Chain A
Amino acid sequence: MTSRLAIDALRDAVARLPDNRLSATRLAALDHLQGQGTPTTAHEDWKYTDLSDVIDISNQWLAHSAQERTPDVAADQINALKDRIDAYWLVIANGQVDESSVAVAQAAGISVSLLSDADVALDFDAPLANLNTALLRDGLRIHVEADAQPAKPIGILIVDDASSAVGVSQARVEIDLAERSTASLIEHHVSTGRSRHYANSIVRLVLGDHATARYVRIQERDSGHSQTGRLNVRMGRDSSFEHSAFDFGGKLIRNDLLIDLCGPGALATFTGLYIAVEGQHIDNHTRVDHRVGPAKSIQEYRGILAGATRCVWNGKAIVHAGADGTDAEQANHNLLLSEQSEIDAKPELEIYADDVKCSHGTTIGQLDESALYYLRTRGLDRRHAQQLLTQAFAQSIVDRVSIDLLQDTLREMVAVRLSKLIEGDIGL
């Protein structure tokens, strides 16, 4: 049985939040959430991911720390993270928007404001989005002007520190790229601290006609922390969305990527890499709605699983009636390196138009024996050959990262992650 969220305690916590333009919306979201309940494994979309742990953390937090002041995250830690990548950084620390970062991030063609600066219209379809809205102190709104091409990426650093107490944090960002603008965006999740933590984020991205977004999501949470995250993308005519996601850390991680192709000529390319070691559960759900044609979506996710881990990949492409000229490709490849790991893959297609080209391919297996042998006949020992092939397997996703200045950083992150895994229990 999935645990139930303590709604009364949640209502108290909502009442304690600062009064702003979000207040009425919070209560509406709470009512919706109460009606919906949190998802359980009986829901098709949550078949392989049990949120009990996340709800336990939330209830524990509601019973204790929710009543206390939200702790700060050390400035040193934040600065060190910001220094790793040269970007206009916006910071949400323990669920609180760092208002000083908002001022700094204003640059030519970019304007940033708080969500509560203007009226907000949020929908109430998804329970976890409602949880996010109900508990949202404030969020960010980022606007990139028409024709603008900001010089640096816009970084959103979502950082949590659970050193002092159990934590629950919400992050909410609304981004719109006006016509013909081009921007790079980085969504970076980091968390530290020994207590339990649950982070829940919602990002909404709207691409105007002919706009281009290069988007990289990096998740490096502590192995004891959990996260649910959702990215909604709405794409206009001839717009382009190039997305790469990297999941390195976390205990229970669930990502939902939802892409709506609403304008003809739109092109969505989305890739992801998940590397899971001992005790991790990483679930990536993607859904692309082809509402008009011609338009194209290309997706490839890769996973490396070691130790007692479970990963889930569910890719869904829906081609709506009339979306002629659709081209949708899905691919998912997994390397299983341990007796205790499990992968659940579900590559789905729903097609209601006939002028379409759709394909998907999923593979689950081991390193290619003939490649291993080939490398050994060249003098490399088995371990070295395995290491090389595992890296190559991951590298193909890094190579497709569209924000050039991130390539080296990511390559390093992948190498560090893999070396941990290779030193570990998998016998590489």
Chain B
Amino acid sequence: MSTEPDKLESFVNRRYEHGFITDIDADSLPPGLDEGVVRAISARKNEPEFMLEWRLRAYRHWRQLEEPTWAHVHYPRIDYEAISYFSAPKSDKDRPKSLDEVDPKLLETYDKLGIPLHERARLAGVAVDAVFDSVSVATTFKEKLSEAGVIFCSFSDAVINHPDLVKKYLGSVVPQRDNFFASLNSAVFSDGSFVYIPKGVRCPMELSTYFRINAANTGQFERTLIIADEGSHVSYLEGCTAPMRDENQLHAAVVELVALKDAEIKYSTVQNWYPGDENGVGGIYNFVTKRGDCRGANSKISWTQVETGSAITWKYPSCILRGENSVGEFYSVAVANNYQQADTGTKMIHIGRNTRSTIVSKGISAGHAQNAYRGLVRIMPQAHGARNHTQCDSLLIGKACGAHTFPYIEVRNPSAKVEHEATTSKISADQLFYCRQRGISEEDAVNMIVNGFCKEVFKELPMEFAVEAQALLNVSLEGAVG
């Protein structure tokens, strides 16, 4: 087998050497966090008073909290006073002018991933306007959305232009006091997306952060709020399959979803932040709080995630199934290679009658990585007729990695039916030999087996995304067998 270091990652390191990520802009706050910083962030964004007050309440609470230690991940203590909590987006003059100026290895990776040409430029940080007219593309979409009455804008815009909706729903699913990282996010969140789908509207297209202008540099403390009003439907895509760079090591995003009566939200994520090098140096710490509230009867929230990036992933997209007959779904593929650590899963809280949830989690561990599924299924006493089915599978590649499952099942209603199944297996030498005897390379055989293992989740992704995700998985596991 190939003993070459993982190509993707070696290129990533080189980029650092090249100093692609440049000096810190002048327009950023000095490291450290106090009330003054929170006020400064709010002021710079011209936020109304209510937003500042909201941030300050979160900040004061955060100060009293301890960083949680229960997850199956290990990392050096984070110094929250050493982090800079605000920096303005980079200006175009510091960016590559065209793809010709971009490291050819990066382009090779994009090629492997099958990323469309026009998208590569944006991903590589090329000043977008120089490459293609994103404004006109965005304008077309904007027109279509506004015809339908859909609001899709940056969080900052929403605070200014739709304060009533923000006031009503912000923090209503993930309160400021929810947990350490959610509190931190609530105090200092930079920007993110805001979506409102009016009553009875089926959003005419899949919404993606890609189509939102001014989306740059919202990665660190992103805040997303999606509200699907009665009878509406929306599919939202977050992230992309190409490797995403960020100079900020700590990420603490919050996503809140609200589905009212008969509404449906489908939220798909591909997370591919820099995972660190093959020796576990560097990489993003990704501490995310995602939660959906099926507030109305017959509502549905479906989470699909493909997690391949980040040095540390701490993430549990959850559903609160409040409305009668509401449905929660969680489909996840989590890949951890080299020294990555992932602790991810979901919570399904059944409150309403006849609520149903499905959990399908596929964890793949390779190299020295540790990959844990952590999940909670709770059936409350009033949730008559609740149903849950959980399938939780782990695949091990190599001797030095770990695969763990920590499911919590709490049932307080005798009419509930809960089933949990889990398996752990490895890619066997026999399987590989069989494939090779049929003329398939070992690398291809591994890819085939892994993709087969993840099929159930990929089929939940929007078509184009699914193809990319498959390619991404192959790249992420390059060099894993050997």
Task: Please determine if A and B sit in direct contact within the complex, based on CB atoms under 8 angstroms apart.
Answer: yes
Q: Which of A's residues lie within 8 Å of B, judged by CB?
A: 44, 321, 324, 334, 336-339, 341-366
The answer on a CB contact under 8 Å between B394 and A362 is no
25 pairs, A vs B, C-beta closer than 8 Å: A336-B416, A342-B410, A343-B409, A343-B410, A343-B411, A344-B408, A345-B408, A345-B409, A345-B420, A346-B408, A347-B409, A348-B405, A349-B394, A349-B404, A349-B422, A350-B404, A351-B403, A353-B396, A354-B399, A358-B424, A362-B407, A362-B419, A363-B418, A363-B420, A364-B419
By Cβ-Cβ distance, the 10 closest A-B pairs, closest first, are A336-B414, A358-B424, A354-B396, A365-B417, A362-B420, A364-B418, A345-B409, A342-B412, A354-B426, A349-B405
Asked whether A361 lies within 8 Å of B406 as measured between CB atoms, the reply is no
Set of chain A residues within 8 Å of B420, measured between Cβ atoms = 345, 347, 360-363
Closest to B400 in A: A321
Contact with A along B380-409 (1 / 0, CB 8 A): 010000000000001011111111111111
CA A366 – CA B398 in complex, angstroms?
41
Task: Count residues on chain B whose CB falls below 8 Å from chain A CBs.
Answer: 34
- Report the separation of the CA atoms of residues A347 and B424 in the bound assembly, to the nearest whole angstrom: 13
Q: How many pairs of residues, A versus B, come closer than 8 Å at their CB atoms? A: 113
Which B-chain residue is minimally distant from A352 (CB atoms)? B402
Contact B402 A350, beta carbon cutoff 8 Å: yes
Shortest distance from the beta carbon of B384 to any chain A beta carbon, whole Å? 9
A347-B420, A354-B399 known; A341 and B414 CB under 8 Å? yes
Residues of B near A366 (CB, < 8 A) are 414-415, 417
A342 to B423, CA, bound (A): 26
CA distance A70 to B415 in the complex (A): 47
Task: Please tell me if B249 contacts chain A, counting CB pairs below 8 Å.
Answer: no
Q: Is the CB of B412 within 8 A of A359?
A: no
Q: Does B23 contact A (CB under 8 A)?
A: no
In the bound complex, CA of A324 to CA of B381 (Å): 43
Question: CB of B70 within 8 A of chain A?
Answer: yes
- Is B49 positioned at the interface, with any CB of A under 8 Å from its CB? no
What residues of A have a CB within 8 angstroms of the CB of B46 in the complex? Answer: none
- A44→B70 contact, CB < 8 A: yes
Query: A residues within 8 A CB of B397?
Result: 354
Q: Kindly state whether residue B421 has any CB partner on chain A within 8 Å.
A: yes
Query: Could you tell me if A359 and B423 are in contact, using CB atoms closer than 8 angstroms?
Result: yes
- Determine whether the beta carbon of B418 is less than 8 Å from that of A351: no
**Bound complex: CA of A360 vs CA of B397, how far in Å?**
20
In the complex, A368 Cα to B422 Cα: how many Å?
A: 22
Taken together as a complex, chains A and B put the C-alpha atoms of A357 and B425 apart, in Å, by 6
Q: How far is the CA of A187 from the CA of B243 in the complex (A)?
A: 59
Contact A344:B410 (CB < 8 A) given known A354-B398, A354-B399, A359-B422: yes
Inter-chain pairs besides A347-B409, A360-B405, 17 sampled, C-beta below 8 Å: A44-B70, A321-B399, A336-B411, A339-B413, A341-B414, A345-B408, A347-B422, A352-B402, A353-B399, A354-B398, A357-B424, A362-B420, A363-B417, A363-B418, A364-B419, A365-B417, A365-B419
Q: How far is the CB of A41 from chain B (nearest CB, A)?
A: 14
A314 closest partner in B (C-beta): B408
A356 engages B396 (CB within 8 Å): yes
Contact among B394, B409, B419 with A351 in the assembled complex (CB-CB below 8 Å)? B394
Main SS at interface, chain B: strand
Contacts of B425 in A (CB 8 A): 356-357
Contact between A365 and B404, CB atoms less than 8 A apart? no
Q: How far is the CA of A146 from the CA of B422 in the complex (A)?
A: 40
The answer to whether A346 and B409 touch across the interface, beta carbons within 8 angstroms, is yes
Residues in B neighbouring A351, C-beta threshold 8 A: 394, 396, 402-404, 424
Shortest CB-to-CB span from B153 to chain A, Å, is 43
CA distance A352 to B401 in the complex (A): 6
Q: Which of A339, A341, A362 has most chain B Cβ within 10 Å?
A: A362
Q: Within 8 Å CB of B399, what residues of A?
A: 321, 324, 353-355
Tell whether, in the assembled complex, residue A363 and residue B414 are in contact, meaning their CB atoms are under 8 Å apart: no
Q: Bound complex: CA of A366 vs CA of B424, how far in Å?
A: 28
- Chain A residues positioned under 8 Å from B414 (CB to CB): 336-339, 341, 366
Taken together as a complex, chains A and B put the C-alpha atoms of A361 and B421 apart, in Å, by 4
- Quote the shortest CB–CB distance from B173 to chain A (angstroms): 25
Report the bound CA distance from A214 to B421 in whole Å: 29
In the bound assembly, the distance between CA atoms of A144 and B402 in angstroms comes to 39
The answer to whether B407 and A348 touch across the interface, beta carbons within 8 angstroms, is yes
Q: Quick check: A344 and B409 within 8 Å, CB to CB?
A: yes
Residue numbers in B under 8 Å from A361 (CB-CB): 419-422
What residues of B have a CB within 8 angstroms of the CB of A338 in the complex? 414
A55 to chain B, nearest CB (A): 24
B339 to chain A, nearest CB (A): 14
Residue numbers in A under 8 Å from B398 (CB-CB): 354
Q: B417 to A349, Cβ gap below 8 A?
A: no
B364 to chain A, nearest CB (A): 12
- Which residue, B401, B412, B416, B417, has most C-beta atoms of chain A within 10 A? B412
Q: Which of A338, A349, A362, A366 has the most CB of B within 10 A?
A: A349
Q: Across the interface, which residues of B come within 8 angstroms of A349, CB to CB? A: 394, 403-405, 422, 424
Q: How far is the CB of B309 from chain A (nearest CB, A)?
A: 23
Whether B413 and A346, one on each chain, are in contact in the complex, defined by CB atoms closer than 8 angstroms, is: no
**Chain B contacts of A321 at CB under 8 A?**
399-400
Contact B421 A364 (CB under 8 A): no
Residues of B within 8 A of A356 (CB): 396, 424-426
Q: What is the chain A residue whose CB lies nearest that of B425?
A: A357
Hey, which chain B residues are within 8 Å of A364, CB to CB? 409, 411, 416-419
**Closest residue to B388 on the A side, CB-wise?**
A364
CB distance from B147 to the nearest CB of A (A): 48
B38 to chain A, nearest CB (A): 31
Pair A348/B418 contact, Cβ less than 8 Å: no
Chain A residue contacts of B419, Cβ below 8 A: 361-365
Task: Give the chain A neighbours of B418 by CB distance below 8 A.
Answer: 362-365
> How far apart sit A359 and B420, CA to CA, in the bound complex (Å)?
11
Q: Select B407's contact among A324, A347, A350, beta carbons within 8 Å.
A: A347
Give Cα A326–Cα B419 distance, bound, in whole angstroms.
Answer: 25
Chain A residue nearest in CB terms to B387: A365
Instruction: Given A336-B414, A338-B414, A354-B396, check contact A346 B423 (CB 8 Å).
Output: no
Determine how close the nearest CB of chain A comes to the CB of B121; give it in whole angstroms. 41
Chain B minimum-CB-distance residue to A313: B409
CB-based nearest B residue for A348? B406
A235–B358 Cα gap in the complex (Å)? Answer: 39
On chain B, the residues within 8 Å of A362 by CB distance are 407, 409, 418-420
* Residues of A contacting B423 in the complex (Cβ-Cβ under 8 angstroms): 358-359
